[in-house]
Structures are given as structure tokens and as C-alpha cells.
Amino acid sequence: MSDFIKFNIPLVIGDEIGNLQSVVANGKFSGDGGYTKKCSSWLESNCRVGRALLTTSCTHALEMAAILIDTKPGDEIIMPSYTFVSSANPFVLRGAKIVFVDIRPDTMNMDETKVEDAITKKTKAIVPVHYAGVACEMDTIMSIANKYNLFVIEDAAQGLMSTYKGRSLGSIGHIGCLSFHETKNYQCGEGGAILLNDKSFNSRAEIIREKGTNRSQFIRGMVDKYRWVDIGSSYLPSELNAAFLYAQFKSAHQVNKKRLSLWNEYSEQLSEVSQVDLQYIPTGIMHNAHIFYIKLKDIDERQKMIEHLKSYKIQSVFHYIPLNESKKCSKYNRFHGKDKFTTKESERLLRLPMYYDLEISDVKYICNKVRGFFND
């Protein structure tokens, strides 16, 4: 067991250095080289999507999505407030207004029963956020979107290797967005991907990602020179990032198995602690053990638990401050309906250490100290 148990240690599986050395030897460092193509192919095969493009972050994948659906000033985008600011910013940058709906207390995901009532004539898209790699109720959300002719953009930043009724997160809506930030199950420091489930987006997505040029068509020999043809930005990660990431993709199932074993040990060890609520995994959903959290009585008890665990050299952290609490950004959003659970549940939630190199013995030690908090 470690002297100090950190909340997270970024994954390094072992083959990353060899891949990086091969990039250096090859001499091509910019985007869309061999490893970028390997990562894209792996995502397309593993997630069963028509097209996957690596990006510099999930934030940038969401920015591309906002452009692809032609987000305009005055449009409204429905999403939960319990999420990271990157879920909202890409649409706000295009002039849209964010409409928050309450969450379900059991999964911390958008409450699908609140979505339809939040729809107006200005609504352009729904952005479900799959918190902790646990899927939102996508059948209901897709049914509503189809009824009102809305786009669905899945924020699956935490969701690689998770499924909803057998379908990979990010492959169900019109567009899916993934993150490979160092806090994620598979990482390259900073990185992401956009998954395109509607082939009508494919050509324009390549252009947006290449600074608004048709450079990808030029490289394939489809045009004699490339030009500025649309809006866009530089959303390509370097080949170094892709090489690092591909090493982890090759071991993805091994990593997923280990993380699930840790998650299951937490769940078993803490299942009889009546003073905390544990994560709920709905039927038909396979999660990826991205997070293991407990819920305490209230924010004060949570802070005491953080301090208690810290005294035993265990780092635990809370998570998002709901976006609707930002008074400074209130002009960009509104909360539809009552905030019954978003704020209250976010103040109870505490994340415990979870990473690939964590050991079962560490988990047992952490759980022993959680139980000890209540015994004391």
C-alpha cells in the first residue's frame, strides 16, 4: 500500500514510450499521421460508429459539434447543470442560451422526464452528459428528440468502454464527444474525439477540424490544392498525443477489467454502511468504473469525511459546482423548473480514489477508514 493514496494517477500502460520513439524516428509530429489513423480506426471499431476523428480535447469536440449543427444566436440547448463548463461553453460561444433541467438523484444524470417540458420553438439540441460513465436514459431522450426534430449530442467525456443496452456511449445520438484528459480512464494528457453517427456530418467535420480548409481532400488527392472553404479551427492533436493514446487503446479491455474489479470491491466493502448512499447502475447499462463515489448526509458531513480521510493520507474530492450557481454567467443560461436535486445531491457527493494502479488492498484500507469515520 502507498504511503499516500492519491485521488488519481494518470494511466501509463507501458508501451507509450516505444510509440513516441517511433514518431520521433519517423519525423512526422503534426496531426493525422499513422497513430492518429490507428486511434480513429480503433474508436470506429470499438464504439461501432461510422466516423471518429481525434481532437485536441473533448471541449473542442463539442465546439465542432456546435458548429456542425449550425448553432446560432438565440438557439436553446438543453442539458443538466451538474456538469463541467465545457458542456455549455461551445454553444454559448455560438450565441446559444443554455437551458438546464434537474438531475436524477440516483445516477446524477439529466432527468429524462424533465426534458420535454423544457422544449420551446428555439430549442436546437439536447446534450445528455453521461456522468461517471453511467448512461443517461437514451431511449427516452432520442424519442423526444425525434418527436421535435432536435439534435442529440452526447457528452460522453467519461464514457469510453461504457454501454447503454449494448450500444457504446457516444454512438447513440447524432454526435458523441469523448475526452482523453489525464483524469480519464484512457489519456494522453489532453485529447478528445468526435464520433459522427450521421454520415452527412463527415465531410464538413473534416473541414472544420482542419481550420476550415479542405486539406484532408487535398491529401487524399481529391482536389489539386486546398482552400479556405468554411469556418473552423485547429482541432487536430499532434501525432505524439495519438501515439501515447494508442498504446492505451490496445490495452483498453485489460484496463477496464481492472477498474471494474476495484469498483466492485468498493461496492462490496461499503454496501452495509447505512450512513452513505452508493452509486446506482440501472439495468441494461454497463459502466466503465470511471468514478466511485459515496453520498454523505450533507455538505458539512462531506467536508468532515474529506478531512478524516486526509488524516489517513487518503485524497478524496467532491465534484462539479452546478453551472446554474454561477451568477456571473446567468445571462447565458436559465434553469427550467425546480432545482430539486441538482444542488442538494452535488453537495453530498464525494469521490474516492480510482485509477488503474490502485490495488485491492488500497481499496480495503480506504473502506476501513470510511467505516471508521462513522464508528468514531
pLDDT in tens, 337-358: 999 999 999 999 999 999 999 9
Q: Does any domain span residue 261?
A: yes
Q: Does any domain span residue 295?
A: yes
Q: Cβ contacts of residue 192 below 8 Å, gap of 6+? A: 54, 55, 56, 57, 58, 59, 60, 61, 157, 177, 178, 179, 180, 181
What pLDDT sits at residue 1? Answer: 52
Q: Both 307 and 180 in a single domain?
A: no
Q: Does any domain span residue 7?
A: no
Q: Which residue, chain included where needed, has cell 482552400? A: 227
Q: Both 214 and 298 in a single domain?
A: no
Find the CATH number of the domain harbouring 168.
3.40.640.10
Q: Does any domain span residue 8?
A: no
Q: Does any domain span residue 5?
A: no
pLDDT in tens, 121-150: 999 999 999 999 999 999 999 999 999 999
DSSP string, 286-300: E-----EEEE-SSHH
Per the structure, the complete domain to which residue 122 belongs is given by 16-250
- With a pLDDT cut of 70, the percent of the chain lying above it is 98
What pLDDT sits at residue 281? Answer: 97
Question: Is 300 exposed, middle or buried, given 0-12, 13-18 or 19+ CB atoms closer than 10 A?
Answer: exposed
pLDDT at 38 over 90: yes
Q: Both 246 and 269 in a single domain?
A: no
Q: Both 160 and 88 in a single domain?
A: yes
What pLDDT sits at residue 46? Answer: 97
Q: Both 197 and 243 in a single domain?
A: yes
- Among 200, 220, 250, the domain-final residue is 250
Q: Does any domain span residue 264?
A: yes
pLDDT at 204 over 80: yes
Q: Please report which confidence band the pLDDT of residue 327 belongs to, taking 50, 70 and 90 as the band edges.
A: confident
pLDDT at 221 over 80: no
pTM listed for this prediction: 0.95
- Based on the structure, what is the number of domains in the chain? 2
Q: Does any domain span residue 193?
A: yes
Q: Does any domain span residue 11?
A: no
